[in-house]
Amino acid sequence: MTSVVLSTHNLTKHYGSGSTRFDALKGITLDIRDGESLAIVGKSGSGKSTLMHILALLDQPSGGELMVDGTDAATLKGKKLNLLRNRTFGFVFQQFFLTPNASVLDNVMLPLKIARIGSRERKRRAMAALTQLDLVDKAKNKAVNLSGGQKQRVVIARALVNNPRIIFADEPTGNLDSATGAVVEDILFALNKEQGITLVVVTHDDELAARCDRRLYLHDGLVVDAVDGPTSKKKTVHA
Amino acid sequence: MKALDILTTAIGNSFRSRLRTTLTVIAIFIGAFTLTITNGLGAGINDYINTQVASIGAPDVMTVTKPVKATTATDGPAKYDPATASRVTSGRPGASTLELTDTDIAVIGAIKGITAVDKSVSVRPDYIEWQSAGKYVMSLGQFGSGIKIDLAAGKQFTAGTTALEVIIPTTYVATMGFANNAAAVGQTVAIGITDALTTQTSIDATIVGVQNTTLLGSNATVNSALKNALYAAQSVGLPASSTTQYASVVAHFDGTATKAQIATIKKDLVTASYEGTTVADQIGTFQTVIDGIILVLNAFAVIALLAAGFGIINTLLMSVQERTREIGLMKAMGMSAGRIFGLFSAEAVFIGFLGSAIGSGIAIAVGTIVSRVLARTLLSNLPGLHILSFTIASVGTVFLLVMGIAFVASVLPASRAARQSPIDSLRYE
């Protein structure tokens, strides 16, 4: 029996009020189990990104309940919230969000710097993460000089470096060609399988969604379908 | 983030946009440079005045006068009173004092803290001459005996001596025919003085020292014995009444008296309708004027710094705008708002530090050179005056002020960065 790391009950989120009110989420109830891979699938405007932001504690829900490891997220504030963000979550974004003129190593070390880890230990762990992603020779390069695939691998290294329990990936392959995208997918699923890191993928790409253990289909702020079990075989990699 | 990491990251960030940082640093540089120079000017001149006070000033005496009761311009003349002592005009234009008599001396002597009262007499010697090398006009210093003189050669007056001693300023040396300062020491000179019956007599005195030129001009100084001898020679033929009235007297007090004790003595003198002025008071007037001028100059420098402060605000606002995503990312990764604030204010303080370091550094270098050149050329007849002097305290104050202004300037942009919600920042296109 695997434990539940994140669970929501009747989660809602709206923007604005009165005639300009827009309901992004209209009552989402879900459980995310430790070590699983979950795809949140939907078109743009379906509320999938909003849901991810709330799950990752980057945004606050308008209503409903969010439990992180059995703790009500609404009670998390200040230091506790920052500590939880730092220790528990890793992020992989479509737009990378790398500091362009800083070195690859500096970019990867950022979460450790925020965690107030000493500089030697910081470097050791960042280099270990870069080794895992085959980027050691790029450590001293500026992030801006990398290719798209390399950038996304740096982002994964950064998400990984602080040993998170959950990695949130928002359209991780959206900016990549299919071959590089496949490599990035393989890396993410390998982390999920081998290190047991829970993976939450937000995507509109059905092929990527199909590789996840579970899929939630969102439409207009509501879960319209939930499918368990991978539906397709592992894609062939053309690296 | 640890404090050190914040600092190094902030320093790194400030170099990301080199041109912008450089321009802001130049703005601060101008302010810091000006402030350091004006402070140095104030310190240099005041240092000089302080040495002047120490060298001319007797710390244990004050000049006591009896001021006329002030009348306002519209009051018309006061009623004549034959018993009132005669007036002497002295000091500030328009100010006049009353003659002091032996009765006044007794009253002053009785005031607590005053140890002795000397009649302050004015002697007007005609000339000074050495070995028939020519007679030259001799002017005597305003301040009397018992003082420490800033000497170029020789020694101070011998205490309690009856020998007739004189100290001449350096400007007299060559004119009177001496080879150099040292050659003048120990020589006997003749001082000529005319009495009330217009008979000129000559008194011989020994030069014991040569004095550096002072702020109050180049005057010779005589010891009490010589002064009394000159006064005696000058007073021959005068009626007794005119030799028992004095424009001012010199009151002695304990040399270790504190400022507060001196102030008490002055207050007691005022109560008894007298006025006491120490040497420090007289020279202090210069200092007040200098301080006033420096204050105005400093105000201009601070205005320049305030303008630079707005430069910092602008730079940081742009920086916050550019790094919106980075801030959002750091927040998503658990960096607290306080530390984000710290990151940006540290960047501002570092820019302030750079500006003040370069500004003060160049100001000290330029100031030292200018000061040396001036001391050798334009100001060479005021020995000991270094127009610009830099102390650790004043330079440190400039640093703290500039960094303080930089910090205050950073509050708006840094708190804007700190308040950003991670998700709005990450969505920002």
Query: What is d(CA B95, CA B70) in angstroms, rounded to the nearest whole number?
Result: 9
Q: Which of B1, B339, B422 sits opposite A58 (nearest CB)?
A: B422
Residue that is written with structure tokens 């320049």 in the block: B304
Q: What pLDDT is recorded for position B98?
A: 76
Per CATH, domain A4-236 is 3.40.50.720 = no
- Neighbouring CB atoms inside 10 A of A15's CB total 11
The pLDDT, as a whole number, for residue A231 is 59
Chosen from A51, A54, A97 to mutate, greatest number of chain B CBs within 10 A: A97
In order, the DSSP letters of B173-229 are: HHHHT-SSHHHHTT-EEEEEEE-TT--EEEEEEEEEEEEPPBTTB--BEE-HHHHHH
Kindly give the pairing relationship between strand B165-169 and strand B127-129. Answer: unpaired
Evaluate if residue B72 carries a pLDDT over 60: no
Distances (CA, A) of A46 to A59, A204, B424: 17, 10, 18
Which residues of chain A make contact with B336, given a CB cutoff of 8 A? 78-79, 82
Question: Two tokens at B234?
Answer: 């000058």
pLDDT tens-place string over residues B224-278: 788 888 888 888 887 776 677 777 787 878 777 777 888 888 888 888 888 888 7
Strands, E, within B11-124: which ranges?
A: 61-67, 87-89, 96-98, 114-120
Residues B290/B46, Cβ–Cβ less than 8 Å: yes
Collect all residues with Cβ–Cβ distance below 8 Å to B236 and sequence separation of at least 6. Answer: B195, B196, B197, B199
Tokens of A6: 């994140």
CA B117 to chain centre: 29
CB A172 within 8 A of CB A188: yes
Collapse the DSSP code of B426 into the 3-class scheme (helix H, G, I; strand E, B; otherwise coil) and give the result: helix
Query: In angstroms, how far is the first alpha carbon of chain A from the final one?
Result: 37
Q: Which residue of A has its CA nearest to B338?
A: A78
Per-residue pLDDT tens for B106-151? 888 888 888 777 777 778 888 888 888 888 888 886 555 445 677 8
Name the residue among A151, A195, A199 with its Cα closest to residue A173.
Answer: A151
Label residue A234 by pLDDT band (50, 70, 90). very low
Residue A111 sits at the chain B interface (C-beta within 8 Å): yes
Which of A59, A97, A119 comes nearest B325 by C-beta? A97
Q: Long-range contacts made by residues B368-373, C-beta under 8 angstroms, separation at least 24?
A: B371/B44
Paired tokens of B85: 């002592």
At what angle are helices B324-332 and B337-376 packed, to 10 degrees?
130
Q: Cβ distance A34 to A197 under 8 Å?
A: no
Q: Which amino acid is it at B151?
A: L
In this complex, how many residue pairs, one in chain A and one in chain B, have their CB atoms less than 8 Å apart? 57
> Is the pLDDT confidence value at B92 over 60?
no
Residue B74's contacts (CB-CB under 8 Å, 6 or more residues apart) are none
Q: Which two tokens mark B261?
A: 């004790």
Q: Could you read off the pLDDT of B375-428 as tens digits, one per residue?
A: 888 777 777 777 788 888 888 988 999 999 999 999 999 999 998 888 877 775
Tokens, residue B57: 């000033």
Q: What are the backbone angles phi and psi of residue B87, rounded to the nearest 5°?
A: -95, 150
Mean pLDDT of all residues belonging to chain B? 82
Point out the residue among A81, A89, A114 whose CB comes nearest to the CB of B330: A114
Quick check: B332 and A85 CB within 8 A? yes
- Inform me whether the pLDDT recorded for B201 exceeds 80: yes
Q: Give the pLDDT score at A233.
A: 46
Task: Scan for tokens 């950064």, then name that residue.
Answer: A158
pLDDT of residue B85: 57
| Confidence grade of residue A33 (pLDDT, cut at 50, 70, 90) | confident
A38: β partners:
A200, A214
**Does pLDDT of B350 surpass 90?**
yes
C-alpha distances out from residue A89 to A39, A169, B49, B99, B346, Å: 16, 11, 68, 93, 28
* CA atoms lying within 13 Å on the CB side of residue B196: 10
Question: What does the block give as tokens for A179?
Answer: 């071959």
Q: What is the mean pLDDT of residues A68-86?
A: 82
CA distance linking residue B88 with residue B372, whole number of Å = 44
- The pTM of this model reads 0.69
**Distance, in angstroms, between B429 CA and closest chain A CA?**
10
Interchain CB contact of A110 with B (< 8 Å):
yes
